[in-house]
Amino acid sequence: MSIIIIRKGSINDIEAICRIMLSTEPYITLGYTADMCYDIVLSALEEGWIGVAEYDGELAGFIIFRVFDGFPLGGYIRAIAVSQKYRRVGIGRALMKYAEDTIFRYRKNIFLLVSSFNYSAIRFYKSLGYELVGEIRDAIISGESEYIFRKRKIDKDNDHK
């Protein structure tokens, strides 16, 4: 039985991360290039907020997030992708848990953007408890939107229903 190992990303992971990113939606439709990917990953590594998933000894996915910068009211999931070869085995959920656990140590909210054409990602985030809180029309691609999703940390001691 294979297990998913989540660890902090390193400089040695850049090539594998970019290979996954550049072969995955929404990055294909959004027109990401190798240079854009390298810049995003390098800045995430400098900040220390990148996680990678290993499965069967191979880098199978990644997540890039911010804890203190980004949205002023919480942490921010910048990018996530899982290799097509390793979809549907729980890697995306494991990566999100890694980022959520880290962010929720410091912040009460997590935000992310998802492209309106990325239906599977919208379903995925909703299944993890994220709620649609806004829309930015024509943000990147004319005729498409970026949806703003939020997940709130449940404080059992102070959360009155």
For the stretch 38-95, pLDDT in tens is 999 999 998 879 999 999 999 999 999 998 765 567 899 999 999 999 999 999 999 9
CB atoms inside a 10 Å sphere around CB 105: 10
Q: What does R_g of the chain's alpha carbons equal in angstroms?
A: 15
Q: Between β-strands 145-152 and 4-8, what pairing exists: parallel, antiparallel or unpaired?
A: unpaired
Q: How far apart are the first and last CA of the chain?
A: 41
Whether pLDDT at 158 is above 70: no
What pTM value is reported for the model? 0.91
Distance, CA of 77 to CA of 104 (rounded, Å): 12
Residue 88 Ramachandran class (φ > 0 left, ψ -120 to 50 alpha, else beta)? left
**Position with higher pLDDT, 69 vs 36:** 36
Question: How would residue 156 be classed by pLDDT, with cut points 50, 70 and 90?
Answer: low
Whether pLDDT at 160 is above 50: no
Mean pLDDT, the chain, rounded, equals: 92
Of 130, 82, 81, give the one whose Cα is nearest residue 103: 130
What token pair was written down for 75?
Answer: 């942490």
Whether pLDDT at 1 is above 90: no
Distance, CA of 96 to CA of 154 (rounded, Å): 16
